[in-house]
Structures are given as structure tokens and as C-alpha cells.
Amino acid sequence: MEFTKGHGTGNDFVILPDPDGTLDLTPGLVAALCDRRRGLGGDGVLRVVRAAKHPEGVALAGEAEWFMDYWNSDGSFAEMCGNGARVFVRYLLDRSLAAAAAAAAASSSSSSGGMLPIATRAGLVRARVEGADVAVEMRRPRLYDTATATLGGLTLPGAAVDVGNPHLVCALPAALELTGLDLTRAPEVDAGTFPAGVNVEFTTPGEPVTGADAHVLMRVYERGSAETLSCGTGACAVGAVALRDAGLDTGTVAVDVPGGRLTVTVTPDSCWLSGPAVLVATGTLTPSALTP
């Protein structure tokens, strides 16, 4: 089986080319691939399949050639992954799998033209190349409720945010630091509010950054993957909450995660996530050898 390993600000993925959708990808195989001792290691798996060849992508096949079949590291599905989408796009460009759209994306200076569309479980996502960075346009985050997260003996209020997948953004009190949080276990949340589980982001304010309306530091516990170095949709959720707290409806937020910096730009109709997307290795693996 061929594979490529890539990451976006430390959020890492095993990428599997399967253009015709013939790979028998199972939850067990995904978990084995993502095992950091017995497998390749990763926060998730990105299967690269033509939209027309995947039952969840066929409805978008007329708008996008490729479907991002994203799996969490525990073998469960996720609706969307912002960093995964950026790495997915980097892979398509690197392998010339979307040559015409890639050329347009690379040459266009317009924010509305030169887009590379990809299909996801959360709908159509558009991307553009920004030098060494890849930016993806997703739905505008929707703040829809309040809830709490309990971590150890600490209970924090938070904002529930829909970015195609569910998030709970919790600001830490001024006396606490992000580095002091123990994220080796999942925070406790209200299952009634989040029946499908939730990604939980913990935030503190950062120093002012030139060109940004706000600057936020973030750590995240992702459902199905535990703590990760970065979460793209989580950064979008955090950015939307930061703008709301600043009294703004749109704007740009610098979000620092343990793996680096992401830039979130919320517009009246969508949300752009920008940052580095890197491919670090490619090779072949033996699936049968992944079984303990």
C-alpha cells in the first residue's frame, strides 16, 4: 500500500491514494496506521478518492473531482478537518492530480478566482495557494449555544460553535496558563448538547499581532484523536469567538497552537484558514504487518 505522511502545524496525517475507491479501509486499519509505535503514526487518515467513486462524495462530483475521506486516529469518521483539507490540497498539487485547477489557483491573485475545490463530508471546500501556505475556505462558524467542559476539578463555561463539525471554545481564567492543563484525558461535556461528541478548545489571549484584529493561544482535545498539536476547524471556532468578544462580526485572528500559527479570516459568508501544509515522507507499507 502506498502512503504519504504530511502535517499542517503539527497536525499530522497518513495520506492514502485510492482514486477509484477500491481500498478496503476499515476502522481497525485506520487505528493501526495511526498507531505511533506499531504503525506510521498520525492524528488521522486522509484517503484521496475521486468524488464520483465515493458514496459520500458523488453528490459533489460535478463541482469537485476529489473527495477528502477523513478518518480520526481511533477509526471514527469526522465531518471536516481544516488542517487535513490543507494537507489534502498540498498532496493534490504535489502529485499533479488537479493540474488545471492547481495552475489557476497558483496564478490567480483574486480572492474569488483560481480556486481548487474539494469535496468533504461537510460539503464543498475551496482552496488557494499562498506561497508556502495553503488556505481553505470553509463555512462561516456559527455560535449557537453555551455549555461547560470539566477537566479534573476545573469546570469552564464555553461557546458551542459549528464549523461543519462541533466545537466548544473555553477561555481560561487569567490566573491559569494553557501549559498547566492536563489533556491526557478527554474533558467532560454535556452529551445532550453534543450527542456526536465535540472538539474542546482552551484559550488565553496573546499579545497584539500586526495585521490581526485579535491574537489567541489555543490547545485542543479532539474527539477521536485526543490532544493534537493543532486543529484547523478548532482555530476557526476560536477565531469566531475572539471576534465576537471584540465586538466584531468579521476580521482576522492569529491563532497560535503548539504546532505553530494559523491565520483565521472570518468574512460575511465564510471563513478562511491559512497556514503551512507540508509533505514529509512517502513510501509503501505492509498492512498485514500492522496487526499486533
Which residues form the catalytic set?
A: 81, 231
Residue 64 in contact with residue 101, Cβ under 8 Å? Answer: no
Residue 242 in contact with residue 253, Cβ under 8 Å? Answer: yes
The C-alpha cell of 191 is what? 452529551
Task: Give the DSSP H/E element, type plus range, for residue 126.
Answer: strand 123-130
The C-alpha cell of 227 is what? 490532544
Q: What are phi and psi of 167, to 5 degrees?
A: -140, 155
The closest of 174, 171, 190, 183 to 241, measured between CA atoms, is 171
Q: What are phi and psi of 148, to 5 degrees?
A: -125, 155
The closest of 262, 269, 170 to 220, measured between CA atoms, is 170
**Bridge-partner residues for 260, per DSSP?**
257
The C-alpha cell of 140 is what? 462561516
Rounded distance, CA 169 to CA 148, Å? 9
Degrees (nearest 5) of the Cα angle 206, 89, 97? 170
292: number of Cβ within 10 Å: 5
Residue 38 CA: distances (Å) to CA of 70, 114, 164, 281: 21, 41, 32, 17
Q: Both ends of the chain: CA-CA distance in Å?
A: 18
Strands 123-130, 133-139: pairing is: antiparallel
